[in-house]
Chain A
Amino acid sequence: MNRLARMATARRNPGRWHWTDIAAYAYLGLGVVLMFGPVLWLGLSSFKTQAGLLEFPPSLLPMSQKEVRVEGHAQPLPLFEVTMEDGSKRVLAQVRRIGIQAQMIDPANPGQSIRVPIDKRTPVREFKLATENYTEPLERFAFTRFLWNSVFVTAVATLITLVINSMAAYALSIYEFRGKTAVMLMVIGTLMIPITIILVPVYLVITKLGLVNSLWAVILPGAATPTGVFLLRQYMLTLPRDLIEAARMDKASEWQIYWRIVMPLAMPALAVLAIFSIMWRWNEFLWPLAVLTKTEAYTLQIGLNAFQGELQTQWHYLLAMTVVTLLPVALVFVFLQRFITTGIANTGMK
């Protein structure tokens, strides 16, 4: 106990507590609640039954009313704890409710019917995870399809991005050639042009290519990322020129130098770009929203958005599918947190 207290109060720099230290920990504590809280709440809610979600005020954990099967009744009956007139408490099953009275029976003695005012009874509840929130939409609705679409888009787009960006970065970092400055300017120029301002004409190009409602419509436009070219080029510039020249002396072709020398050495930068590309593609919204109009081509994000429009009330499915959408990113984060944060700190990209 003592050790625990010491650990809790210890600071890296032993010394007296300054008020700013207390304020700092208070702020961080608040941060934990505010940042983690909503997602935690989403997770808990996603396991509540439809009825559980309608409760107000909501319960913290996914609880649902206990039910019993009683002979002579086709449906399971909900269990209540009832305060009897004499002040004693009994657990009874409710058969039906008539106005402010409820007709109840004792499950152990189903023959006898008891009338109870409804304000004298409270539901008996148990902890129960409504896993059907997850299984049903994946079976009954197209969410499996959406999931697959998202996975396909993310994987293929990331692969293409890595290959063509690294080739361009290789050209821009290793060679001196006529027009290099012009190409660099073009890349910088591209950096300034987000999809938001060329939405319509890109749609036209995709239409011309006959790709509307195809997943390739989502994959192709964003495959050549200027950010990726920059990141990789910056990294490749740090590779010793001697290695390239040594490879030339070793009679390697330029393609071999790219593939067997530069790519393996640029692995750290490629990994960073891969992670970013995965996040971009998994989370992408506006462009797929514009170009995908058929349900079977929806990605998870678009499907989720459409689902909330159509089924405003079916929060139990919506929350569960939100968690499914969030899960891969959460896993990436848990395993690669340090990697991502240093990547962002070093490149300032997102």
Chain B
Amino acid sequence: MASDAPIPAAQPDRARAASLFAAPLAMLMRLIDWPMQALQRLIGERRMAYVFLLPNLVFFSLFVFLPLIINFIFSVTGGAGLFPSERPYVGAQQYAYLFDCGSFLDPSSCREDHFWRGVSNTARFTVFQVTAMVLFSLLTAVVLNMKIRARGFFRAVYFFPVLLSPVVVALTWKWILQRDGLLNAAITSLGGERILFLVDPSWAMFWIVFVSIWAHMGFYTLILLAGLQAIPADLYEAAEMDATPRWRTFWRITLPLLWPNMIVVIVLALIRGVQTFDEVFVLTGGGPGTATLMVVHYIYETAFANQVQNFGLAAAASVVLGVVLFALTLAQLAASRRKGAA
């Protein structure tokens, strides 16, 4: 019996060290098991599914579904009260106020010009950021997928900022970009003039795009890298046998096969881009002026930071943002379904 030959014994349990922690836990679980068994006898094993679902659903209802409804109620009521009972019904007035614009292309012609500045800034930011993000993460993924030394190290280099908190990211760059910062030191040492990066509106926009790419590129690179590594190596070997030039291999083999991942990256970056807040808030505070004010920042300020808290207007703006996100998410689902089918 060849396959019945003994295999070396397993290592002694590592669990012994953890037993200090495990023993009370096991005790607790046995305590829970007692009422659970009684319940199971009462309702039958199949209906225990509802018991297991319950805690999560309570949380979902309390902190997602209920708020979703309240959000809508807020958006059609006015006044300064927080509780719906204190708020008079105003119909579509909040939305009308929000959309009261001379021209949608010119935020300053709008009643609520900050909202439209936010929309316009967020739109510009998202377009720049997503374009650059896709290009750079694709480039990085392709390079990391080449036959290079220390690939793990380089992948880690590009990835680690993903884990940093937005506050840390923003403060790190703020320190570099400030008037007497490292970057200005480099510029002056090369004979240039100091630039007030976060005071000049177009520089500020450039830097928030740059910093958000710096912080999140690693994430998208990983998704693309996974896609690249899923492309069978023999396709490349076949292309090499056919003496296909590298650029043509990239264009005709890599890119089409990577397309599903590309779509995921684009849509995810869009969804995140539209919700941009944290890094920008800390880095520029929406300034100079309103040059980098984002929609989410507007919502936050309207609801919480302004002297007069306007929950109704913030909720209406949230609903508008929600509609945009919903459309983008549907696009993502469609894209990932196509990915599943491919």
Contact = CB atoms under 8 A, between A and B. Distances in A.
A adjacent to B, CB under 8 Å: yes
Interface of A: 10-13, 18, 20-21, 24-25, 27-28, 31-32, 34-36, 38-39, 41-42, 45, 54, 56-58, 163-165, 167-168, 170-172, 174-177, 180, 183, 186-187, 190-194, 196-205, 207-208, 220-224, 226, 229, 248, 253-256, 258-259, 279, 282-283, 285-286, 289-290, 301, 304-305, 308, 315, 318-319, 322, 325-326, 329-330, 332-333, 337-338, 340-341, 344-346, 348, 350
Interface string B172-192: 111110001110110011000
7 contacts: A56-B180, A177-B50, A199-B318, A200-B71, A201-B67, A254-B36, A286-B278
A200 B275 contact: no
Given A170-B52, A345-B226, 12 more contacts: A24-B148, A34-B214, A196-B277, A196-B299, A200-B299, A255-B32, A255-B40, A301-B166, A322-B168, A337-B152, A348-B264, A348-B268
A229 B56 CA distance: 9
A315 B175 contact: yes
Contacts of A322: 167-168, 171-172
Q: Which 8 pairs between the two chains have the least Cβ-Cβ distance?
A: A224-B59, A201-B67, A201-B70, A283-B165, A168-B56, A175-B49, A171-B52, A255-B36
Contacts, number: 287
A338 to B, nearest CB: 7
B168 A325 contact: yes
Nearest to B279: A285
Interface stretch (B107-115, B126-134, B155-163, B200-208): B155-163
B46 A12 contact: no
Most buried by A among B55, B219, B281: B55
A63 to B, nearest CB: 15
A221 B321 contact: no
Interface residues of B, number: 99
A134 to B, nearest CB: 15
Q: What is the interface of chain B mostly: helix, strand, loop, or mixed?
A: helix
Contacts of A21: 146, 148
B246 interface: yes
Contacts of A329: 163-165
Contacts of B157: 28, 31-32, 35-36
Name the residue among B29, B32, B69 with the largest chain A CB count within 10 angstroms: B29
Given A198-B64, A259-B29, A341 B277 contact: no
Given A224-B59, A326-B168, A344-B223, A200 B37 contact: no
B46 A224 contact: no
A77 to B, nearest CB: 26
B146 A20 contact: yes
Interface string B20-37: 000000000100110011
Interface string B255-274: 00000000010001000000
B45 interface: yes
